[in-house]
Amino acid sequence: MNRPFAFSLLLGLFAASGPAKAQEPTSKFEFYGGYYYVRFNVNGSAAGGASSETFNGNGAGVQLEYNANRWLGLVGDMAGYGATATTNGALVGGAFTYLFGPRVNFRREKFTPFAQVLFGGIWTTEGIGYSASENNFAMTAGGGIDFKVSSHVSIRPVQAEYFLTKIPDNLNNRQNNLRIGAGIVVRLGK
């Protein structure tokens, strides 16, 4: 995902969140469960992989957000992905991410745009262009929007993030990936 597009997306989310009306109290915790798609970009010279090979990662994830106040939350995110080759669709491996960090919420009566930066790790199995299972650094930066369905449930139609991984690849040990998600948010406690 190119940086001007990501910046434009976040700017659009901020602009969509106009003046706030009287709001109901913010819940202390929010639980998200949903689908994730990741486009894994493997750099050249990776053991066993072709130059600039890509993989499609389909999976699921959960997030738990603790709301420190109306606009600031602390998020824990865990997700698992099965990676398939883009050439023939064959399953080639898997990955598991564990990420933590701050989220800024722009709460409105019917919707909540948000932006977040999460840091942590990625555990990969053999096959995603790499010769061994290992843990490495990972981070995401992006945002999304939640639409309120009831006082305790929201739908998240989109969450889009730049997804950086630092997996040794015999080139520059940096992969620029894309992560997109959608799911359901349940708010707990006041």
DSSP 123-168: EE-TTSS-SS-EEEEEEEEEEEEEEESSSSEEEEEEEEEEEEE---
* pLDDT band at residue 46 under the 50/70/90 scheme: very low
- Its pTM stands at 0.79
Domain count across the chain? 1
Residue 160: per-residue pLDDT: 98
Residue 171: per-residue pLDDT: 74
DSSP 8-state assignment for residue 170 = S
Q: Which of 29-43, 75-89, 100-114, 168-182 has the highest mean pLDDT?
A: 100-114
Residue 20: per-residue pLDDT: 44
* pLDDT band at residue 19 under the 50/70/90 scheme: very low
DSSP 80-94: EEEEEETTT--EEEE
CATH of the domain at 139: 2.40.160.20
Per-residue model confidence as pLDDT tens digits over 124-168: 886 655 556 788 999 999 999 999 999 899 999 999 999 999 987
pLDDT above 90: percentage of residues in the chain: 54
And the tokens for 70? 């109306």
CA distances for 87 relative to 38, 53, 90, 96, angstroms: 16, 9, 8, 23
DSSP-assigned beta bridge partners for residue 39: 56, 178
* pLDDT band at residue 67 under the 50/70/90 scheme: very high
Per-residue model confidence as pLDDT tens digits over 102-124: 999 999 999 999 999 999 999 98
Q: Give residue 122's domain range.
A: 3-188
